Amino acid sequence: MAAVVLARGKDQRIKAGHLWVYASEIASVDEGAAPGDVVEVRDFRRRLLGRGTYNPASTLAVRIFTRHADEAVDRGLFERRIEEALAYRSRLFPAETTLRLIFSEGDHLPGLVVDRYGGFLCLQEVLAVLKERLEPAGIYERSDLSSRVREGLPPAEGILLGSVPEAIPVILDGLEFRVRLSEGQKTGFYLDQRLNRREIVPLSEGKRVLDAFCNTGGFGLYALKGGAASVVGVDISATSVLRATEQAALNGFAGRCEFRQANAFDFLHELDRSGEKFDLVVLDPPAFTKSARSVPQAWRGYKEINLRALRVLSPGGFLFTASCSFHLGAEDFLAMLREAAADSRRRVRLVALRGQSPDHPMLSGVPETRYLKFAILHCS
């Protein structure tokens, strides 16, 4: 097997548990290593560090699948890793059939993401083992992330197995959802916020709620379930607004909510000017930065929406605010919220700081697997 040999001193991260080898860390690559091959990763003394898949077209040149000298990267490895991922979830979510089954590095399967929606699976890479183990009625591939193109891989999307309905009916916490795998961003639904959405339910009774960046209405529907007097949802995507409206109607909430297509920045600005107040505000924007370089710019964006949200909160209101930018760390996120709170001249309490749902596990050696920050603020 061909080896990728790291430059001297570039093995520290891998030894500490990380699974990524960057092209810039490589001193030499044995002849014959072809794209997609399993290669050995060795330190500058040629001591074995692990085995992984090689992609010379990417800055992320090797993804390590095993560190054990006697473990091969073969079907058996995938079977063991998938079994482990399933066992982990059956402890945390017994009997749950809508969740993230496999979370890439977090499950020691770098590059593989699989979501389960009842009898259907959606993946962003494919493995035959899943078909056998779960016997799903259908598997849909969504390997269409922009990162794939950056790594020199063609985008791929479509049905891999069986048949997949356009809208998969799914029940979460007693709410009915219709998940459209082909249409949604990600794999159709944001499963990483599933436990955070529950936090809004007990605070919603009789309240006026603003769900900004609502997508298909996740947080808004939970607020309505909790008895919200009214929900206004805002998203820039017309399709998302349509689906949120449909899902609200499906759950019998049509009279208490309104979803609008708008730029949330403009919408918040307008509310701030008009003086209209809300008791609960949700901010769940897309990642404003995908690189360390543009963190300052992203910071300004996050601060702007959080400041405006604090200003439109009625006294005693709660803000539910998230960031899924890995490059804006938890401490940065809190610092940004402190600035927004100070500028708002409101007295702000941090009620809770949460993260992604545990079906998106964080691998201790790979900080990038911890990406979602979710804070609940109380505003006097």
Query: CA-to-CA distance for 198 and 252, rounded, in angstroms?
Result: 19
Among 55, 98, 215, 306, binds ligand SAH (CB under 6 A): 215
122 in catalytic set? no
Q: Which is nearer to ligand SAH, 11 or 115 (CB)?
A: 115
**187 sits near ligand SAH (criterion: CB under 6 A):** no
Q: Tell which one of 59, 263, 291, 364 touches ligand SAH (CB under 6 A).
A: 263
Count residues contacting ligand SAH (CB under 6 A)? 19
Binding residue for ligand SAH, selected from 3, 129, 236, 242, defined by CB under 6 A: 236
| N- to C-terminal Cα separation, the chain | 63
Nearest C-alpha neighbor of 209 from the set 237, 233, 245: 233
> From the candidates 122, 214, 257, 324, which is the catalytic residue?
324
Query: Whose Cβ is closer to ligand SAH: residue 262's or residue 353's?
Result: 262
- The stretch near ligand SAH (CB under 6 A) out of 22-30, 141-149, 236-244, 355-363 is 236-244
SS3 of 376, please? strand
> To which residue do tokens 């399967």 refer?
109
Angle CA(366)–CA(374)–CA(332) in degrees, nearest 5?
Answer: 65
Would the CA dihedral through 10, 12, 14, 15 be positive or negative? positive
Determine if 291 is a binding residue for ligand SAH (CB under 6 A). no
What's the CA gap between 219 and 73, in Å, rounded? 40
Q: Calculate Rg over the CA atoms of the chain.
A: 22
What is the distance between the alpha carbons of residues 49 and 64, in angstroms, rounded to a whole number? 9
Closest Cα partner for 42 from 3, 1, 2, 69?
Answer: 3
CB of 216 to ligand SAH, least distance (A): 6
Indicate whether 286 belongs to the interface with ligand SAH (CB under 6 A).
yes
Q: Which is nearer to ligand SAH, 216 or 323 (CB)?
A: 216
Residue placing its CB nearer to ligand SAH in the complex, 357 or 369: 357
Of the candidate spans 78-86, 111-119, 122-130, 234-242, the one that interacts with ligand SAH by CB under 6 A turns out to be: 234-242
Binding flag, residue 242, ligand SAH (CB under 6 A): no
Indicate the residue among 195 and 236 with the shorter CB distance to ligand SAH.
Answer: 236
Residue 195 CB coordination number (10 Å): 17
Q: Determine if 361 is a binding residue for ligand SAH (CB under 6 A).
A: no
Site for ligand SAH contains 111 (CB under 6 A): no
Q: Pull the structure tokens for residue 333.
A: 């996120």
In angstroms, the Cα distances linking 224 to 83, 208, 262, 278, 377 are: 37, 10, 21, 14, 20
359 binding ligand SAH? (CB under 6 A): no
Q: Is the dihedral of CA 232, 302, 289, 18 positive or negative?
A: negative
Gap between the Cα atoms of 279 and 313, Å rounded? 6
CA 281 to CA 182: how far, in whole Å?
Answer: 29
- 251 interacts with ligand SAH by CB under 6 A: no
Closest CB to ligand SAH among residues 164, 214? 214
| Least distance to ligand SAH, CB of residue 33, Å | 39
The interface mask with ligand SAH, positions 83-102, x = CB under 6 A, is: --------------------
302 touches ligand SAH (CB under 6 A):
no
Pick 162 or 301: Cβ nearer ligand SAH: 301
Name the residues that contact ligand SAH, by CB under 6 A. Answer: 190, 193, 213-216, 218-219, 234-237, 240, 263-265, 284-286
Active site residues: 324
